[in-house]
Structure 1
């Protein structure tokens, strides 16, 4: 394969922008100890997805309306991306977190 050709898996892989909306706008500044521990499990989960090659990047976004989490995923379908976000400890916690998932139309990587 020439160096300018995309790897075979690229044809079936899509990139997804996932926005993690916290339970309250000031969450990043008012976390309880239990919420900090939950966020630690969330970070561990995402690090595992990075090692698996599913996650491209993640981190908090300094939105003036209130910080939220950005997660960029590599997945074969929106259902696969949803399975990743549904497996996140924050999404499973019942504490009011939710993900919005949007497919990227195109990417430059």
Structure 2
């Protein structure tokens, strides 16, 4: 949320994830992992993600059984896992337009 004003000022399309959407994303991530459909680099090649995964637990979101990631200690940064979770959900749910033109920001 800290970067939101600057991104909007630069006209970068931003999708703010709601608690409900985060619950869906975490559930999908767990489903993909359990189904063996998700792969990643070795832990040594992405130590921040490995540390986040090793130090995460879940917390309930709402009353419908949804959950979100929760860190196990104050000094733990789970943002790499949150980023991967939201990215995977976006890749799963976003419509792609292969021929669309894109602009590179400088």
> Greater helix percent: which structure?
2
Question: Is the TM value for this pair above 0.5?
Answer: no
TM-score of the two chains, using structure 2 as the length reference: 0.31
> Greater strand percent: which structure?
1
TM-score of the two chains, using structure 1 as the length reference: 0.30
